[in-house]
Amino acid sequence: MSRIGKQTVIVPTGTEVKLSGVTFSVKGPKGSLSRDFPGAVTLHINGNEITFTPNKEGDRTINALWGTYASHVKNMVIGVNEGYSKKLILEGVGFKSEVVGNTLNLALGFSHPVKIVIPTGLTVVAEKNNITVSGIDKELVGSFTAQVRANKKPEPYKGKGFRYSDEVIRRKQGKKAA
């Protein structure tokens, strides 16, 4: 049994939800999202509540999908109403970041600049060494932020590289002079 799947998702006022076939779509003040939810779990829309029921009880994969579908729908509803944002901090001497058009240009100490194309639906703001990624799709915000961070992960000796704003880097001591 899925604890997350049993919970009902409350739809705020001003948000429109629609289920046509296997496609679930949400429209809110910040935009609209849609996603396909095939087969294993049935979605029920009753007024401003969304409930989920598995098509077959006791199957482990269907129970896992039950909670996953509920989580996706909840994230979609929150995204079109409030949105999501993640913040990256770039630490290191000479490391720079700037947004030009729809690309994020990074100077990370390599022999070449790193250019990353910003996907549609995301807003990226680079000020000094702080990069803020925001959008309505939680999955897209998280994957783009992880893609940027993968270019220069934080190292444990000096702490140089990208880190999330709420991430704590465990520092190592380094060599001791004998």
Q: How far apart are CA 78 and CA 43, in angstroms?
A: 17
Residue that the structure tokens 């003040």 belong to: 29
What are residue 160's phi and psi, to 5 degrees?
-75, 145
Residue ranges matching CATH 3.90.930.12 in the chain: 3-81, 84-164
pLDDT of residue 57: 76
Residues of the chain with pLDDT under 50: none
Helical pair 60-81 and 138-149, crossing angle rounded to 10 deg? 90
| pLDDT tens, position by position, 75-84 | 999 999 999 9
Domain 3-81: give its CATH code.
3.90.930.12
Q: So what's the pLDDT on residue 161?
A: 92
**Strands, E, within 11-160: which ranges?**
16-20, 23-28, 31-36, 41-46, 49-54, 84-91, 96-100, 103-107, 114-117, 122-127, 130-135
pLDDT score recorded for residue 124: 96
Question: What is the DSSP secondary structure assignment for residue 64, as one 8-state letter?
Answer: H
Task: Return phi, psi of residue 135, to 5°.
Answer: 180, 180
Instruction: Supply 129's token pair.
Output: 């060494």
CATH superfamily placement of domain 84-164: Ribosomal protein L6 (3.90.930.12)
> Residue 134 and residue 127: Cα distance in Å, rounded?
14
* Separation CA 25–CA 36 (nearest Å): 9
Does the pTM exceed 0.85? yes
Instruction: Report DSSP letters for 115-150, one per residue.
Output: EEEPPTTEEEEEETTEEEEEES-HHHHHHHHHHHHT
Q: What is the mean pLDDT of the chain?
A: 91
pLDDT at residue number 5: 84
CA dist., res. 101 & res. 98, Å (int): 10
